[in-house]
Amino acid sequence: MPSAKRAASPLLVARPSPYHASVTLFSNASSLITVDADASPRRSKRVKVDVKVEDEDSLPETRPAKKARTKLAPRASTSTVKLEEAEGVKSSRAKVKRETSASASPRKQKAIPQSLDTPHPAPPNWRDTYDTIKRMRSKIVAPVDTMGCDQAQNKETEPQNRRFATLVSLMLSSQTKDEVTDAAVAKLREALGGSITVGAVLAADESAISEAIAKVGFWRRKTGYIKQTAQHLQDDFDSDVPKTVDELCSLPGVGPKMAFLALQVAWNINVGIGVDVHVHRITNRLGWHKPPTKTPEQTRLNLQSWLPTELHPDINHMLVGFGQVVCLPVGPRCGECELSDGRCPSASKTVVKTSTRKVTSRRMAGPKVEIEVEDVKTEEVKITAPSDEPLSPLSDASGA
């Protein structure tokens, strides 16, 4: 029986199929086969094959060749077989991604907003409330008066060190009472050799700083923040505290409240209100925000839109001391506050209720004895101003 196998054209080169031993593959002898020179000797099982034949219609074609071309390659102009190593591709892609991230420019610091698009209206009778609190504060000595962030500069002689000590004190005060912050600042000054300076912080071991501030909240994180901030100040600001809010907020561990207070205390620059938890809580209890604000930043923007600029530096110190002694976060002393006469929509009044009951005592012999016992009960009653809705007290997680 004559063989059905056709003679191969001299223009084709035969080679055994790598997929089946009984199949012969044919390719154009004039075409070039290129292999990626960078490919590793260890080949992946994944193969990308691009077979392109010029003048395809002019060449005789056998069934095995047609079957192989149809199965393995699309039509094009050149023959190319490209072998890729799977692991090599993944690693190269990861390398490119890392290089792209490294070469990308650092993200620009977002500017701190200074005003609202629509100013918040001034609350009615706010001036009377403000003056009343100011009068009450003049009779109160609060922790912030003797141990606040402005006190840290008093032990320094050089103006540059006074500004840096103020900034460090503000960084330590977050989520920490003034009494603890003041003690930590004194201990840190001692650990640094008697003066809080940028150079002394950079020269000190982190363990020495951590031991000095170990009583403040989040002391481990703040240790790193203080070291990093000192390095930034040395590299970018000539070892001094910057004079803008955005530059201050670019420092590790420094937020808007610290930035505004640092400018007021260190540079005597008034560009906004430093709002902490006390200012946030008290102004909401007074009903100064409609609707009530949820964050100190919202409170700051509301207050700055209507409170006169000349009062911005004083309101923080005034309300912090008031919140530390009278308008406490839990159990506010409304009985000692003059605003509980109806001007504060969140005021509560202690009402004492008494009742009497008779207790009879009988003995085997002798007269009957009756004793009256007086029961005293106290309860807090909310006193609400007629035109305002009462606000629930806000929780306070920090002291200063």
Q: Which of 71, 227, 257, 368 is catalytic?
A: 257
Tell me the H-state helices in the chain.
Answer: 63-72, 86-103, 126-137, 143-147, 159-173, 178-191, 198-203, 206-212, 219-236, 245-249, 256-262, 277-285, 296-306, 312-325
177 classed as catalytic: no
Distance of CA 67 to CAs 45, 180, 396, Å?
22, 84, 78
Tell me the C-alpha distance between 332 and 276, whole Å. 18
Q: How many residues are listed for the chain in this entry?
A: 400
Distance of CA 340 to CAs 129, 187, 381, 384, Å?
11, 41, 11, 9
- Beta partners for 320? none
- Beta partners for 16? 24
Query: Is the four-CA dihedral 76, 79, 85, 90 of positive or negative sign?
Result: negative
Which of 146, 184, 180, 179 lies closest to 165 in space, CA to CA? Answer: 184
Kindly list the catalytic residues.
257
